[in-house]
A and B are shown apart, each in its own frame.
Chain A
Amino acid sequence: MTNGTPTADRGWGILFLCWLTVSISTLGSLFFSWVMEFAPCVLCWYQRICLFPLVVILAAGLFPLDRRVVRYSLPLAVLGWLTAFYHNLLYAGIVPETIQPCARGVSCKEEYIDLFGFISIPMLSLLSFSTIIALLLLFKWRTSR
């Protein structure tokens, strides 16, 4: 790098940003369930399973910076993204309700928040996972050169 960043630390900032995104999403998700007391549906739980461990995995990859962290975090992020994508299709009614997996408990179509007409909780999840994947790919690209 021209600004004097040691080669070993290249990409640290990107990974840190990624960790921030993951942590904010995690706390946001906990805010919905702990503070606002929304019950998470089954699909939300699958997405949480993919999201929460990233807080720890990415933090461990920051100290010391491990360039291979992408190998362990990207699969989780992609799985989370796929679940979030499916959840959004279900939420928008593109996937018919008859094949949805949540028959009991909280419906995955339960509408809790609606900001500006299109920001729902599944949409927030999809945006988070998209950002996480983008940052991880950017990190990989920056560190592989």
Chain B
Amino acid sequence: MKYVLFALAALALIAGFMFAGSYYKGKQAEKFGFLAQENAAVFIRDHSPTLGSDEAKVYLIEFMDPACETCAAFSPFVKHLMNTNPGRIKLVLRYAPFHEGADYFVKILEAAGRQGKYWETLDVMYRSQPHWASHHNPQPEKIWQFLPYAGVDVEQIRKDMNDPELVRLIEQDLADAAALEVRKTPGFFVNGKPLQTFGYEQLQELVQAEIRATYPE
């Protein structure tokens, strides 16, 4: 009898937890869907770097941090998603530099973007990340030795990255990240829908669902 009572209580608690969890996530998705309709700018700003065709109907918005290991690990997967669905996905990068001192790398990226080498530089940053972004011993200065591989004018970057406009740009992105309740990176949204549980498969499913919805066969 007591065992039954205990087991039932435990089951009820776990079921209640899972129900409350999915209810909360559902409410959040509704809220962001509404935000996407009413205020699309919170997902994509004029300054936001984008990759992919302008004709694409699926917008993959990624809140990222150049010093975030998981962002680097996700980068090839995002590319793979885009390559397997040519012309249908547009990637929008937003900044959520939560790591201490990560603003520095965002500024370098943006400065490289002015030379038309944004994506090349991002690639170099992600690949060299273990050398400069170690958690117990971050060495931001080390990034400079890798930048020439992106084919950029390093001296020009040193000048351009001090533009106060970049500070405002980062503040805007951080404000949007706060509005969208992005607390971890990478934070993904697909056409305004948040990635509810984190993982490669989950992101793929969310993207595929949006592709099915926007490109009916």
Contacts and interface: CB of A to CB of B under 8 A. Distances in A.
Contacts, number: 37
Contacts of B2: 12, 16, 62-63
B21 interface: yes
B5 interface: yes
Interface residues of B, number: 17
A14 interface: no
Q: What secondary structure prevails in chain B residues at the interface with A?
A: helix
Contact of A35 (B9, B20, B183): B20
Nearest to B16: A27
Interface in B1-44: 2-3, 5-6, 9-10, 13-14, 16-17, 20-21, 24-25
B45 interface: no
Given A31-B20, A36-B24, A37-B183, A62 B6 contact: yes
A37 B56 CA distance: 31
B184 interface: yes
B109 to A, nearest CB: 26
B17 A27 contact: yes
Nearest to B184: A37
B183 A24 contact: no
B93 to A, nearest CB: 21
Max count, chain B CB within 10 A of own CB: residue among A36, A39, A59, A63: A36
A20 interface: yes
Interface in A32-60: 34-39, 59
A128 B25 CA distance: 26
Nearest to B187: A37
Interface string A16-34: 1000100110010011001
Interface of B: 2-3, 5-6, 9-10, 13-14, 16-17, 20-21, 24-25, 181, 183-184
20 contacts: A16-B2, A16-B5, A16-B6, A16-B9, A20-B9, A20-B13, A23-B9, A24-B13, A27-B14, A27-B17, A31-B24, A35-B20, A35-B21, A35-B24, A36-B24, A37-B183, A37-B184, A38-B183, A39-B183, A63-B6
